[in-house]
Structure 1
């Protein structure tokens, strides 16, 4: 859908925000749901079967949020590593709950085949406020770089640093929502002092590949699995999705590392960013979670099989 937008209520058009504008924006943010209940409660139920560790803690004023990773209990150094991340953007609900649902229902299938590490909610402050940014009006998913200005991004990079060169597959779970056009892109334009140009929200699931190291067969394997759960986003009238050329059904490409995106934090040969559309009349919240789970499973299965084939070994899946 295409939307039009009145001037954003904070700031002066054409002028970047300063501290006063950020403070005014922050004052508008309110807690709408509970990280402790929704996420930490779910993680607690997994402790009997997986290793759960705190890898950092966010501090914003009086608010403090522990960050947790869920790891395979039978971690073996000779096995490939699979990284799953969710909730980099806190408002993208199925990224968080899809990651947790994958661990609950499917992680045990990969015991002895891969080491799993799942960070289900990278941005808990934003999760509670159903927002894209952190409390400093910074987008964590443009901040995965050295000396990151985002606490969330810096903490995840520290977690991954010891094994970043040994990751086989990384799946970063996201959503594209109607609020991208009604709130988040207008806010971004206002923050940066540029004109807001309305865009089109794609109706359906799609993937973002790495333009520097594309893996088209891998991406299509994920698309094929998800298509059994929910519909795949078509290209718009310009042959694009969110302004990028569609290179294959349901797939676009970004320069992941250059843009500071989460999916670029490792040297994994197989990596992708999922994008679910939860506002579609053709998809339920349950389908969105299931689509994220299907994407993770398909990505791992393809990567493990391809790795075994390249090594001249029999597939382990």
Structure 2
């Protein structure tokens, strides 16, 4: 028997209209500062990298500059590595793992790859510790030409000139307990669908691309992260979040079909990380370190295969 969770906005079975979305928006409160946590952390990087504004979100009364960090020694003959974080603003280590990579590891790849890092794609949601943007749209289902999410559209414009040149794209995410307590029930309520409970995997895992799975690449990333934090096991059905486990800590999604960030390039090597910060076995430090280690492992594997 399917359980139905009560969500305090809307009428069960009916998709939200403007009134329900307005009620949802009225409940969202700023809980942390994009300027203090992210923009201030990017500022010192200007001494070693080129920092540019690739878009601006006008969410009155606030505006949010979207910043990208690039290799200063960009060379046209080098492969491009794209690192994205904070597509879902509440997934904290995606943002801070990307910043940690820039601070501590990015210089190791100078002259070997062109780095392009967008550490916080959804700053409004970062401040409110939420999955959606201000319009109750999930940016990570919105990476398509007619995107309804300004966050997604801005990143697509940033990446467009690099199509065909990206070797690696790693998109940094988390799976949290609030996925099951808040965000999945909210999604069901917003869309007028029944809520179907699922379990939260305890540990790190990767989401590869069904159409380009690259199993050796995925396992190289898992092996590097496993030195820092534990890898999520399959559940009793052999699945993680409802998808079959295809290798240790790896599931696959059709990323382009779903409009996911990991599908915005035709990179040979793509993956989405999923850290589990609510585990009693993982600290915020471990989560940030795991994200940075995943980026390094992804680049190292790709460069080794480049010869």
Q: TM (normalized to structure 1)? A: 0.95
Provide the aligned length of Structure 1 versus Structure 2: 305
Matching residue of 1:72: 71
In the TM superposition, 1:94-243 aligns within 5 A as 94-243=93-242
Mapping of 1:38-49 within 5 angstroms?
A: 38-49=37-48
Match of 1:50 in 2: 49
Gaps of 5+ in 2: none
Separation (CA, whole Å) in 2 of partners of 1:160 and 1:227 = 31
> Which SS does the other structure have where 2:112 is aligned?
coil
Indicate the SS of the match to 2:293: helix
Q: Check conservation: 1:5, 1:182, Cα contact below 8 A.
A: no
In the alignment, the residues of structure 1 paired with residue 144 and residue 8 of structure 2 have an alpha-carbon distance, to the nearest angstrom, of 31
Q: What is the match of residue 244 of structure 2?
A: 245
Deviation at 1:145, TM superposition (A): 0.2
**CA contact under 8 A between 1:53 and 1:69: conserved in structure 2?**
yes
Instruction: Report the equivalent of 1:88.
Output: 87
Find the aligned partners of 1:80 and 1:292 in 2 and give their Cα distance. 21
Residue 291 of structure 2 corresponds to which residue in structure 1?
292
Q: CA deviation at 1:5?
A: 6.8
Distance 1:61 1:19 in 2: 17
C-alpha distance in 2 between matches for 1:82 and 1:208: 18
Does residue 9 (structure 1) correspond to residue 4 (structure 2)? The answer is: no
Provide structure 1 residue ranges, at least 5 long, that are not aligned to the other structure: 309-317
Instruction: Give the whole-Å Cα distance in 1 for the aligned partners of 2:59 and 2:254.
Output: 31
Secondary structure at the residue paired with 2:45? coil
Cα deviations by residue, 1:224-246 (Å, 9 ceiling, x for unpaired): 00000000000001000000000
- For 2:169 and 2:304, locate their aligned partners in 1 and report how far apart those are by CA, in whole Å: 15
| Runs ≥4 residues deviating over 3 A | none
Q: Which residue of 1 aligns with 2:272?
A: 273
Q: 1:106 to 1:181 in 2, by over 3 A?
A: same
**Shift of residue 147, structure 1, vs aligned partner:** 1.1
1:6 CA drift (Å): 3.8
Offset of residue 146 of structure 1: 0.7
| Counterpart position of 2:304 | 305
SS of the residue corresponding to residue 12 of structure 2 reads coil
Deviation track 1:267-314 (CA, whole Å, cap 9, x = no partner) reads: 000000000000000000000000000100000000111122xxxxxx
Residues 202 and 279 in structure 2, CA contact (< 8 A), matched pair in contact too = yes
Q: Which residue of 2 aligns with 1:311?
A: none
The Cα offsets for residues 115-171 of structure 1, whole Å up to 9 and x where unpaired, read as 000000000000000000000000000000011000000000000000021100000
Corresponding residue number in structure 2 for 1:255: 254
Deviation digits for residues 45-101 of structure 1, max 9, x if unmatched?
Answer: 100010000000001121100000000000000000000000000000000000000
SS of the residue corresponding to residue 306 of structure 1 reads helix
Matched, 1:20 2:19: yes
Maintained 8 Å contact 1:208/1:252: yes
Distance in 2 of aligned mates of 1:128 and 1:171 = 23
Quote the Cα distance in structure 2 between the aligned partners of 1:222 and 1:192: 35
